[in-house]
Amino acid sequence: MNNKYFLTVIEQFEEKERNALHELLSKWECCTIWEGCVEFQECNHKKLVDNIRNEHFLAKDSFYEILNYFLSNSDKELSEVLNLLRSNILENYILKGGNVIKKPAFLATCVKKNILENYLLKNNYTLNETERFFQKDPAEFNVKEKKTLLKFSNRLIWVTWDEFDEVDPYNFLHTLSVDAICDAMALDKSYRNKQLALLYFMVDPNRLDQFPIYRPTWCDANFFDKFSPTDPSKEIRWGQTSPTVQLNLKPNYQERRPEGVVLSNNLPCEYLNRRIKIIHP
């Protein structure tokens, strides 16, 4: 992978600090037991550290701040450092990857159906109203349904699209299945064997320039180890997914799918342009 950007960021540190940072990351990636935090025990620690080195889109000032934070907490376990950092991520370090270049008009995202149902129930929907929401044509959405968000405020929605501007962002797949979506989008293993809801959005072409879609960074991915920073020598316009297996693609499509992040507040259901599609495992 390409760590040029990381090297330019650490150039801002004194030589002694630079060496300390290199040493720290080397120590962390060799660390086999990460005590104290369940959520990091199962992840690939080397990959997580590699992601820091291979990051390219994260704004330099934010990147510098995080590395500086690592240095000042170098005596602590990585899991502890990351846990402390994680509590600041939402406020300070998300959406720092810069805008997606050549924004797509047709976007899609994928959520677990039950998680979306739970979220609607928490937002004054009844059980039957929730069922109706899933069956409704978005053209018939009322005011309440239109303003409904897919997640709590200020959370990230990961979106994908078709690089050839096709209406269907999942057009690259021969067959739409839970496994194919999980592989292509590098979804967490908990998504397998679950009903998935595919949501298709359209942004008004006249508003596209102002519509905020960001290139994803290591921080947006919330330290998720299946995430891989995009190599700018291969793609600079947007982020790319990191498929877990070789995909059965239609001709001319790339394995790594376009991806970007949008703030939940900016993508309410009024942008849905077709019925929610449920796919079963």
In this chain, which of 31, 37, 105, 202 binds another protein, going by CB under 8 A?
A: 37
33 sits near another protein (criterion: CB under 8 A): no
- Residue 190 in the binding site for another protein (CB under 8 A): yes
Under the criterion CB under 8 A, does residue 264 sit at the interface with another protein? no
Answer yes or no whether residue 111 interacts with another protein by CB under 8 A: yes
- 222 touches another protein by CB under 8 A: yes
Q: Shortest approach of another protein to residue 248 CB, angstroms?
A: 23
- Shortest distance (Å) from residue 140 CB to another protein: 5
* C-beta separation of 196 from 279 below 8 A: yes
Distance from the Cα of residue 219 to its chain's centroid: 9
- Number of amino acids touching another protein (CB under 8 A): 43
List 2, 83, 171, 254, residue binding another protein (CB under 8 A): 83
Q: Does 46 participate in binding another protein (rule CB under 8 A)?
A: no
Q: Which is nearer to another protein, 10 or 216 (CB)?
A: 216
- Choice from 11, 33, 38, 209 touching another protein (CB under 8 A): 38
Nearer to another protein, 127 or 245 (CB): 127
Contact region with another protein (CB under 8 A), list: 2-10, 63-71, 162-170, 222-230: 222-230
Q: Which residues bind another protein (CB under 8 A)?
A: 36-39, 42, 83, 87, 111-112, 114-115, 117-119, 121-122, 124-129, 132, 139-145, 151, 155, 158, 186-188, 190-191, 221-222, 224, 226-227
